[in-house]
Amino acid sequence: MSECSPSRRRMSYIPAMANITIPNRPALAGALKQAMADQRAGRIENAEAGYRRVLGAEPGNANANHLLGLILTQTKRAKEAVPLLRRAAQAAPKSAQFIANLAEACRLAGRYKEEAVALQKALKLSPEEVQLLHRLCAALIKLGRYDDVIYVAGRALELDPASALAHNNQGVALQALERAAEAETAYLKALEHTPDYPQALSNLGVVLQSTGRKKEAEASYRRAIELKPDYTQALGNLAALAQELGRSEEAEEMYRQVIALSPDYAEAYNNLGNLLQDKGRLEEALVNYRRTVEIAPKHRLAYNNMALALQDQGKLAEAQAGLDRQVELAPDFAEAQSARLRCYNFAPKWSPAEVCQAHRAWAAARADQFRPETETHANSRDPERQLRVGYISPDFRVHSVAYFFQAILAAHDKANFHTICYANAPQKDDMTAHLKELAGDWRESFNKKDEDVAAMIQRDKIDILVDLAGHTGLNRMLTFARRPAPVQLTYLGYCCTTGLEAIDYRLTDWHSDPKGQEEFHAETLYRLDRNFLCYSAPDSAPETGPLPAGDSGAVTFGSFNTLAKVTPEVVALWSKVLNAVPDSRFFLKAKSLSDEATQKNYRALFESHGIAPERIEVSGRIKGKGDHLAAYGRVDIALDTFPYNGVTTSCEAMWMGVPVITLEGRSHAGRLCASILHALDLQSLIATDEDAFVAAAKTLAEDRAGLAKLRADLRPRMEKSDLRDGPGLTRAIEAAYRDMWRTWCAGDTGDSG
């Protein structure tokens, strides 16, 4: 976070009086002089009483209004001071000092528009007063008027070319306008003139961090803190960088230092909440989010993060209620809008039609307005030429989406398809580097405005733009709404319609979306004649182990799905399975189960269905992908979630030899595991109702020989299936792209799958 530097505090003093407001009556003149004498002597209460007596007799007296206004400002009663100082300025319109003091009271009262207006008036009277220009820059920064900041800071530099403060203010504005290189130059100029300038060092660190130079950023933050040990903003920035670099313990300690130094620093509480949520310490995270909104009631991200933490605890109703309320309070906050839509996919109470309607309603209210009335794409309508395909995602890193996407990117026919990836997240890791090597070109789109990303895509002359996120976090739905490419589709990253008619197609298969699913989508369903996924197992995956139950031990059922999918209805069905298979156990693993309160909630859910506590084992996050996958060595049979199936977890389970039993639903989200099982020719593990689900689990649990054979066979079976055929899937996808492109070239808009 960048900041401007406050101008140096000046000693308070009593300014010369404006002659026009000396009271005519000797008694009042004497009272005014006595009040001024009391103020000089530090007898503030007496001075205040004296000025009030003068104003009681002569309300328009400029000096009494002004001097009483100064006392109120200095004693933290700025809101009371503003009307007094306004009257003083009106009575003495040629006093730049009176107007400047009015501006200061407005600043302290949080009335930044009035502050800026007052400073502009003062500058008309004293155009060469550099301090007034610096103060105006600070006000304009708070108002977000960054182009004006650059102009005003430029005026300050004309008067004082060596002003580090003016260079710094320009840097803040340039950075806000996403002109990072110019902002960096401005901060470096500030440091040329004042090398030990903490604010410029911290701000420079933000630019360096945003452009990937994290070691340099850390050095800049640390130098700022060395110069100013209580500089909470620099310490908070350093903590955020440490968190981004995976140094969570160090980051947590620094956030707590920030809070100790500045107990009302809302951003520190929110960031600490994010860190604790990432570590699965959800109750602690919620405490910090609640403290954030106590300090800053309009802190939109904290409300959103609070809802996500509740969702991670499996408290969907509370999460959705919070998001509904936030959408009412901040209808322009796109992140909350998408988070609210995601909630619909987890709760069994919503029908596919209701889920679709919620997404369409969002598009009508928030997105359709951005679609151009006429589309004038300049792309050559040659149906057989090389196509430029853009992929946009926040998950080009170690993430489930990347494990399914990398095989496609690697297998693209470069002669006929030139790929460009638009990375929409700050996180970078080894997977990022791997995908970057596979892509034809790479663009960074994180922190850019939707309209700017759309313009970038148009400049790149993208023919087919592919969304890999849907309404997941850091998505680009409002970029797609602007129709920057002739053909747009969504694939892989989201389990539902986007709601956007600006997205032409949804890429899927016949098992995930059989006939009849069209009514639940704003997009045209383009179905592949094979499974639409390709799972790339991590190299760290261990070999499949023996059946944990052996020939005669207790069977262990399990689930490693996120708790947002593990609703009370899901636990109720799993409990039916446990009751049907005596002595069986259940192993529930999720990041959020690192939180003790969440563990207790889920144990209580099972117990409410008659499952003894000793039959339930829970585990939080296990560090390391290999160790996470090795934990499947403790599970005999995985039970799927509904109405939102496991996808990555289902593939991981079966790669580790653990069969998954699924309850086939009505929506795409509820049919994903069934599609995977069809690809493996394991239709016997697909249940069409709850009784069939329990029966399938019981039958498999009782057939130990068959279960052991299936465990040994699952990985080879996957290897031979469509689920591991990256080149085959890529050829099918390329054929789909070519078909979509030919349709656009012909000017048709009909159903294509």
pLDDT tens, residue by residue, 548-557: 999 888 999 9
Lowest-confidence segment of 28-32, 648-652, 721-725, 749-753 by average pLDDT: 749-753
Q: Please state which CATH number belongs to domain 556-724.
A: 3.40.50.2000
Tell me if residue 542 falls in helix, strand or coil.
coil
CA nearest to 663, candidates 641, 684, 638: 641
Q: Quick one: average pLDDT of 574-579?
A: 98
The pTM assigned to this predicted structure is: 0.81
Q: Which CATH number fits domain 282-366: 3.40.640.10, 1.10.3720.10, 3.40.50.1970, 1.25.40.10?
A: 1.25.40.10
CA nearest to 446, candidates 419, 465, 421, 480: 421
Q: What letters, b where the CB count within 10 A reaches 16 and e where it falls short, cover 484-511?
A: bbbbbbbbbbbbbbbbbbbbbbbbbbbb
User: Which architecture does CATH list for 384-528?
Assistant: 3-Layer(aba) Sandwich (3.40)
Instruction: Report d(CA 493, CA 508) in Å as an integer.
Output: 12
Residues of the chain with CATH 3.40.50.2000: 556-724
Rounded to a whole number of angstroms, the distance between the first and last alpha carbons of the chain is: 48
Q: What is the pLDDT of residue 625?
A: 87
Q: What is the dihedral angle through the alpha carbons of 278, 281, 287, 293, rounded to the nearest 10 degrees?
A: 10
Lowest-confidence segment of 51-65, 594-608, 630-644 by average pLDDT: 51-65
Lowest-confidence segment of 3-12, 308-317, 512-521 by average pLDDT: 3-12
Q: What are phi and psi of 557, to 5 degrees?
A: -85, 160
CB 231, CB 225: distance < 8 Å: yes
Mean pLDDT of the chain: 92
pLDDT tens, residue by residue, 130-179: 999 999 999 899 899 999 999 999 999 999 999 999 999 999 999 989 89
The alpha-carbon radius of gyration of the chain (Å, integer) is 32
Q: What is the pLDDT of residue 8?
A: 33
Residues of the chain with CATH 3.40.50.11380: 384-528
550: left (phi over 0), alpha (psi -120 to 50) or beta: left
CA nearest to 562, candidates 334, 289, 319, 353: 319
Q: What is the pLDDT of residue 13?
A: 34
Q: What is the pLDDT of residue 4?
A: 57
Q: Please state which CATH number belongs to domain 1-143.
A: 1.25.40.10
Element (H, E) at 393: strand 387-393
Q: What are phi and psi of 586, to 5 degrees?
A: -135, 130
Strand order in the sheet with 660-663: 616-619, 585-589, 556-559, 637-639, 660-663, 686-687
Instruction: Report d(CA 15, CA 78) in Å as an integer.
Output: 19
Residues of the chain with CATH 1.25.40.10: 1-143, 282-366
pLDDT tens, residue by residue, 63-116: 888 888 888 888 898 898 888 888 888 888 888 888 888 888 889 888 899 899
Residue 749 pLDDT level (bands cut at 50, 70, 90): very low
Instruction: Report d(CA 702, CA 687) in Å as an integer.
Output: 17
Q: Quick one: average pLDDT of 485-510?
A: 97
